[in-house]
Structure 1
């Protein structure tokens, strides 16, 4: 059983303003070693048509990645992004594949295409995510949309990509799965964590709080990773969750309006990282970091502790309930069968 360094670290007790200030103004960026070369490798980046996803694609190509797959929900936006990258890197093979993260069927189709069409896969960066100001439900699943996209669908795609990342990467070079999280996960209140059933308790607009919903959707990834590491050997696939920090130019809050939009715009202008700098955290986690980052939360270019709620006295109970209900929700895709096939 692989241990996670993030699980053994003492959680941060800094206030949100203090941690934000330290992160945005004092964190020291880490660039890939000058001899980093991704020759021969294949990478997938989801939500890659704009923002951090697009800039992480550009940085992968700069490191001589020869084959990139941009996974997007809009074919036009994907092709526009690919066209820009092809102009900059004409020697690379850049493909646009459709992926709708609110659709389980689309995720399964995408995973099947990976298995069928790719002979190699080295890196997957799961960047797609949403913030919603108003409560909404995904009709095909019955789940609240932020929970669906940022947690449930991301978990499903992660699990379904693991076999390809294991078998389609060279034995000497483990596959890499980097899931994009957020530092706000550390401050999620998660007031419904003792509800039974747990997942269904998210599907109500009572006391709807868009910030808390986004925060908790990223917190749930910490619980997931703490369990996932028991199934995946770092020698096969290295998995981590990354916090890119607050970045100016990111389209994450594109649906936010009114006072919250004004506040966010000011914060980004005053303290936001550039998209290039934010995307470098992806490259650090997915390319530069080694086995020590397996099963870890990576923030400010370093290994960081999970949210305090994960290691709290009731963290194990809540984490197990969340895991069991998540596996049940995704049972149609056989996630446990996939994970058992990976177990060592």
Structure 2
């Protein structure tokens, strides 16, 4: 495979940025009110999604949808949240548990249709659900699971719900709808050699090309590249140029699209690792990691960020630049290729999707 795109991440700078954030970037306890808002949090029965959902309920959202694979586990999470937030007594009605399995395209599309049909308004979608598989696994659609869950169906759900978010803005002008993709600092730690294949996704779906230690990193880079290009195109630009950032203050029908890095936290993300790797990761999280609750604060900040965060990558509640090469000519070309090939995959799953959101 030719190396047309030779990506050279600045690993040292990325590591320094990561450590500074972990030790000195703790975001403050959120106090922003979400009164009257309807919020969806995916993967919200455990980990970061669960703690973020607790924050949203504490901060007075009107309706909270826990989007989970296991309804029974979601109901247990709901009970825990209701018990812990003492100033509210409306949890039985305010919190709903809906099934969503991002490894299944049909489940993803069904969930989006239910949102459109059953929710009068939609203010915030926090796409938190994700996996970190260290072994090859193929889902029912025939796709490698990490790419299916973290990239394809996460983006499919986000784009399918964009019109609903825009519709809510039109009906409730004082609202500030947000689509938030939970991303990661690890997008900085891959050379993404798969981008040199004629078909990126065919390469990623080839078991012989699977590198377990790099797959999660790639999935998070794909999110970053796609969202940046999506925002640029929705803003009327052909692509993000060299050294450019998404246009601040310009949003898709008032919808603010953000990417949020929660940092290294105590979470359930390691459950796909081998037993030995789980021990190693657990020790690292104990030494460097944040608590799940602290990490979840970043998700809350992303859900109430202003227009200046539209299309931006956020860490510790603030905008942060993505990996440096992404702003270069090389980055522009890679970003465009990723976007166009990803959108092709999404269109195959939901024909007319691009036209529906104005692309």
TM-score normalised by the chain length of structure 2:
0.86
- Report the equivalent of 2:89: 90
Distance 1:19 1:47, change over 3 A: same
> Deviation of residue 326 (structure 1)?
1.4
Q: Say whether the 8 Å CA contact 1:171–1:236 is kept in structure 2.
A: no
- Report the equivalent of 1:117: 118
- Report the equivalent of 1:296: 312
> Deviation of residue 298 (structure 1)?
0.4
Bigger mean CA deviation after superposition, 313-322 or 109-118: 313-322
Q: Any idea what SS the aligned residue of 2:66 has?
A: strand
- Report the equivalent of 1:231: 234
Aligned length: 326
Tell me, in whole angstroms, the C-alpha distance in 2 between the residues paired with 1:318 and 1:331: 20
Please list, as runs of the form range in 1=range in 2, the aligned pairs for 1:165-314 lying within 5 A after superposition. Answer: 165-169=165-169, 170-229=172-231, 230-231=233-234, 233-234=250-251, 236-248=254-266, 250-287=267-304, 289-314=305-330
1:104-156 CA-partner distances (Å, limit 9, x unpaired): 1111111111110010111110000001110111232x221111110111110
Tell me, in whole angstroms, the C-alpha distance in 2 between the residues paired with 1:191 and 1:297: 23
1:294-339 CA-partner distances (Å, limit 9, x unpaired): 0000012211112234223322222222222112112241221122
> Deviation of residue 207 (structure 1)?
5.0
> Deviation of residue 206 (structure 1)?
2.3
> Deviation of residue 172 (structure 1)?
2.4
Tell me, in whole angstroms, the C-alpha distance in 1 between the residues paired with 2:82 and 2:318: 32
Choose from 39, 42, 53 the match for 2:38.
42
Tell me, in whole angstroms, the C-alpha distance in 1 between the residues paired with 2:325 and 2:153: 22
Q: Any idea what SS the aligned residue of 2:342 has?
A: helix
RMSD in angstroms over aligned alpha carbons?
1.8
> Deviation of residue 13 (structure 1)?
6.6
Tell me, in whole angstroms, the C-alpha distance in 2 between the residues paired with 1:12 and 1:301: 23
Tell me, in whole angstroms, the C-alpha distance in 2 between the residues paired with 1:171 and 1:224: 28
Please list, as runs of the form range in 1=range in 2, the aligned pairs for 1:105-184 lying within 5 A after superposition. Answer: 105-140=106-141, 142-169=142-169, 170-184=172-186
Tell me, in whole angstroms, the C-alpha distance in 2 between the residues paired with 1:302 and 1:99: 30
> Which is bigger in relative contact order (C-alpha 8 A, separation at least 6)?
1
Q: Say whether the 8 Å CA contact 2:11–2:189 is kept in structure 1.
A: no
TM-score normalised by the chain length of structure 1:
0.90
Structure 1 gap segments, 5+ residues each: 1-10
> Deviation of residue 16 (structure 1)?
4.2
Q: Say whether the 8 Å CA contact 1:222–1:310 is kept in structure 2.
A: no
Q: Any idea what SS the aligned residue of 1:55 has?
A: helix
Q: Any idea what SS the aligned residue of 1:267 has?
A: helix
Q: Any idea what SS the aligned residue of 2:149 has?
A: helix
Q: Any idea what SS the aligned residue of 1:70 has?
A: strand
Tell me, in whole angstroms, the C-alpha distance in 1 between the residues paired with 2:130 and 2:61: 24
1:196-237 CA-partner distances (Å, limit 9, x unpaired): 011111012225322310001000111111111121652510
